[in-house]
Structure 1
Amino acid sequence: MTLAIAVLALIVAVVLAVICGLLLWQLRTLKLRAEALADEVSLLEPAPPMAPDLEATLGAGNRRLLVVEVLNPLDVALSRNKAAGVLAAMAPERLRKIVLEQASREMVAEMADQGLEVEVRVHAAR
């Protein structure tokens, strides 16, 4: 009876050793893959630096930022007000600012209607 238990214990030990060997082999494979991926990541171009005001806003931690860029503020202004063409010719930056401020107010109102509490700020690029 003790011989049977010893043989059974030996078989269990061999099976466990084989399983440990397979796990170690998988771990080695994963380490090699992680090193290869890290090498690929290091070759990627770095992200452009954030504007200082955005860095100050985000700080450290898990905050996330949704960025919306209005690509056609002058077209929007012209579609809403025909007199905006004169302002666009004389002070295009001022008109862009007005459109962005209006868009931010509209976004806050629309998101509030959806139950989202948001803060919208206009940030200028460096």
Structure 2
Amino acid sequence: MTAALAVLALLVALVLAGACALLLWQLNGLKARAAALTEQVEALEPAPPLPADLEAALGAGTRRLLVVEILNPLDVALSRNKVAGVVAAMAPERLRRIVLEQASRELVTEMAAEGLEVEVRVHAAR
């Protein structure tokens, strides 16, 4: 009976040793993966800082903002007014500002028609 218990204990010890070896192998794989991910994170460029007025608006981060960027303000201006081509050639930044101001007014009007109370502000990116 003692020999049977000794054999059983040996088998249990071997199974436990195998399980430990498997876990150690997995742990080493996870360490290598964590090191690779750390290198990838360090290689990432930091996000550009927010403009100061937008940073102030976010505060502690409890507010949620919807950001809309108009990617083609000059095209929009040209499609609405033929004289905009001349203005775009002479003062493109002024024309962009006009398009943004008009778009923000239209956005407020459309949102109000849907029953949404919104505040629209134009922020300048750095």
User: 1:70 — aligned with what?
Assistant: 70
Deviates more, 1:87-96 or 1:58-67: 58-67
2:67 alignment partner AA: V
CA offsets, 1:56-107, max 9 Å, x none? 1111141011111100000000000001111011111100000000000000
TM-score by length of 2: 0.65
Determine the C-alpha separation between the residues in 2 that align with 1:39 and 1:90: 48
Structure 2 stretches of 5 or more lacking a match? Answer: 1-36
Determine the C-alpha separation between the residues in 1 that align with 2:114 and 2:38: 41
User: 1:97 — aligned with what?
Assistant: 97
Determine the C-alpha separation between the residues in 2 that align with 1:40 and 1:114: 45
Q: Aligned pairs, how many?
A: 126
User: 2:59 — aligned with what?
Assistant: 59
Aligned-residue Cα RMSD (Å) equals: 3.8
User: 1:80 — aligned with what?
Assistant: 80
User: 1:123 — aligned with what?
Assistant: 123
Determine the C-alpha separation between the residues in 2 that align with 1:39 and 1:89: 47
User: Where in structure 1 do 4 or more consecutive aligned residues deviate above 4 Å?
Assistant: 37-45
Q: Which has the higher contact order (CA 8 A, sep 6+)?
A: 2
Residue identity (%): 80
Question: How much has 1:122 moved relative to structure 2?
Answer: 0.6
2:52 alignment partner AA: P
Question: How much has 1:109 moved relative to structure 2?
Answer: 0.6
